[in-house]
Structure 1
Amino acid sequence: MAPSFTWPARVYWEDTDAGGVVFYANYLKFFERARTEWVRAAGGEQQRMRLESGLIFVVSETTVRYLAPARLDDELTITVEPIELGRATLTLHQRALRGEQVLAEGTIRVGCVNAHDFKPARIPASLLAALQRP
Structure 2
Amino acid sequence: MPQSDYDTLLGRLEGTRHIFPLIVYYEDTDAGGIVYHANYLAFAERARSAMLNLLGFTNRNVAERHKVAIAVRHCTVDFKRAAQLEDRLTVESRVIKLGGASLGFEQKIKRGGEELVVIEIYLACMSLEGLRAQRLPEELRTVFNRYLDVNKD
Provide TM-score, normalisation by structure 2: 0.83
Alignment partners' CA distance in 1, 2:58 and 2:84? 31
Structure 2 partner of 1:93: 106
Q: Which runs of 5+ in 2 are unaligned?
A: 1-14, 148-153
Alignment partners' CA distance in 2, 1:7 and 1:93? 13
Q: What value does the CA root-mean-square deviation take over the aligned residues?
A: 1.2
| Corresponding position: 1:78 with 2:66 | no
Q: What do residues 40-99 of structure 1 show as CA deviations (whole Å, max 9, x unaligned)?
A: 111121101111221000001110011111111111100111111112101111110000
Q: Which runs of 5+ in 1 are unaligned?
A: none
Q: What do residues 100-132 of structure 1 show as CA deviations (whole Å, max 9, x unaligned)?
A: 000100100001101232100111111111122
Instruction: Pick the aligned partner of 1:23 from 36, 39, 45.
Output: 36
Instruction: Pick the aligned partner of 1:32 from 45, 55, 65.
Output: 45
Aligned residues: 133
Structure 1 partner of 2:10: none
AA matched with 1:104: V
Structure 1's consecutive aligned runs of 4 or more residues displaced over 6 angstroms after TM superposition are none
Provide TM-score, normalisation by structure 1: 0.94
Q: Which has the higher contact order (CA 8 A, sep 6+)?
A: 1
